[in-house]
Chain A
Amino acid sequence: MSASAPERAEQVDSPEELELWRRAEASGDAELRGQLVERYLPLCRAIAASLYAKRIADDAEFADYMQYATLGLIEAVDSYDWRRGVRFNTFATYRIQGAIRNSIVNFSERREQLGLAYRLKKERIESIKHAGETPARAPRRGAVVREMADVAVIWALSYLLEGSGMLAPRGDAHYTEQFYDGLEMRQLKEKLVGLVDALPDQERRVIKYHYFQNLEFTEVAKIFGVTKGRISQIHKRALVLLREAHAIAGGIDLEL
């Protein structure tokens, strides 16, 4: 039986999406590829949440499901052929589900989970431990105090964003907070997560991939088509700008 017109319409991607796929393929532009990945992140989150809700063991956290889902999405973007007339959502759903299931099956040891958290933290520290401006020689004490304060604040921002993928979107069934956080800490974290959207494009995307999707710098570098070192630089700059955004918006509440 053939599908009716509205049903057929739902089986193909919108003209806007198809145009994006055409342009990405024709140009080979990493930026357009990144836009495609970002466009489908909500799908990724929905699939990860669905499988996480049906999990039969607690050896992996939601953040792990999100990471594997995002990697599955990236593979789907790279292998999708829009000419075949299959909607990307349909094509990607199977691949994202497969990526999560395969990874979770291979993920039986808690050590691997700790390994990811350790790697993520280590590369953040490497990226930000020289957050301040380094004086050439014999710096004034005030300059040293400021530089050390810069390092501490940028470092704190990284801690505050850690696990923030669980904060967004609010109202999500998987919204969680650190059990020891009170109102002030929760509001600060929510404000910072909201201010990520104010960052310039490149910085915003690096923060979202790394902190919200739990991708390592190497994986983010593959999406951007640049080196891991470059991502590390953008990450540090993003935290510096996020600090400034917080200072500018300090007297402003986010409508969450």
Chain B
Amino acid sequence: MDPISQANPVLDALRRQLAENIERLRRAGKLSAGTRNAAAARSPASPESLEAALRRKLAAIDRRSPDGLSAATRSFVETVLVAEFGAGLLTDPGFGQLAAELCDSLRAEPEVREPLERMLAEL
């Protein structure tokens, strides 16, 4: 396994290269200022605010019911994706399909499902 560490010198060098490449694409006219709020876009939800949002959503779900953890997983996936990619996705018909496929895949992998369900049960 090759865990991605936030304090990884190789990754840091690649991040610098990434920033340079984005700047190069921007200078070449392949990127332009968009309509979304740039500051908000550059500040993804912090773990605390994500956790708070998850708590709010999960409070409405009975996680001890037969389908409780499945519903909680769906809620988790939707919350995380919206925090990452924006609330505009919620109105897109393709988003439901993406969330459903992602839930199925996460739950199909025991190495992911077990810690995920543990976390969802404890929140």
Contacts and interface: CB of A to CB of B under 8 A. Distances in A.
Contacts of A155: 102, 105-106
Contacts of B59: none
Size band of the interface chain B makes with A: 35 or more
Nearest to B19: A248
Interface stretch (A87-95, A123-131, A209-217): A123-131
Contact of A152 (B11, B26, B33, B76): B76
B92 A183 contact: yes
Contact of A197 (B30, B38, B91, B106): B30
A74 B85 CA distance: 36
B97 A178 contact: yes
A229 to B, nearest CB: 9
A183 B91 CA distance: 9
Q: Which residue, of A184, A203, A245, A253, has the highest number of chain B Cβ atoms within 10 A? A: A184
A29 interface: no
Contact of A250 (B24, B36, B122): B36
A195 B24 CA distance: 12
A130 B102 contact: no
Interface in A147-202: 148-153, 155-156, 159-160, 178, 180-186, 188, 194-195, 197-200
B-side interface mostly: helix
B6 interface: yes
Contacts of A194: 30-31
A142 B89 contact: no
Contacts of B41: 247, 249-251
A250 B38 contact: yes
A144 B5 CA distance: 14
A252 B42 CA distance: 10
A145 B22 contact: no
A132 B43 CA distance: 18
B4 A197 contact: no
Contact of A153 (B31, B33, B80): B80
Interface string B72-98: 000011001101111011011111011
A-side interface mostly: helix
Contacts of B51: 141-142, 145
B21 A200 contact: yes
A198 to B, nearest CB: 4
Nearest to A152: B80
A234 to B, nearest CB: 10
Contacts of A203: 14
Please list the 3 inter-chain residue pairs (A to B) with the smallest Cβ-Cβ separation, ordered nearest first: A250-B41, A251-B38, A181-B94
Interface of A: 125, 129-134, 141-146, 148-153, 155-156, 159-160, 178, 180-186, 188, 194-195, 197-200, 203, 233, 236-237, 240-241, 243-255
Interface of B: 1-6, 11, 14-15, 17-19, 21-22, 24-26, 29-42, 44, 47-48, 50-51, 54, 76-77, 80-81, 83-86, 88-89, 91-95, 97-98, 101-102, 105-106, 109, 111-112, 115-116, 119, 122-123
Given A156-B77, A203-B14, A241-B18, 8 more contacts: A133-B4, A145-B54, A152-B106, A178-B94, A241-B14, A243-B84, A249-B31, A252-B26
26 contacts: A125-B105, A125-B109, A141-B119, A145-B47, A145-B50, A156-B85, A180-B97, A181-B92, A181-B93, A184-B86, A184-B92, A185-B94, A188-B89, A194-B30, A198-B22, A198-B25, A233-B2, A240-B11, A241-B15, A243-B84, A247-B41, A250-B40, A251-B37, A252-B26, A252-B33, A252-B34
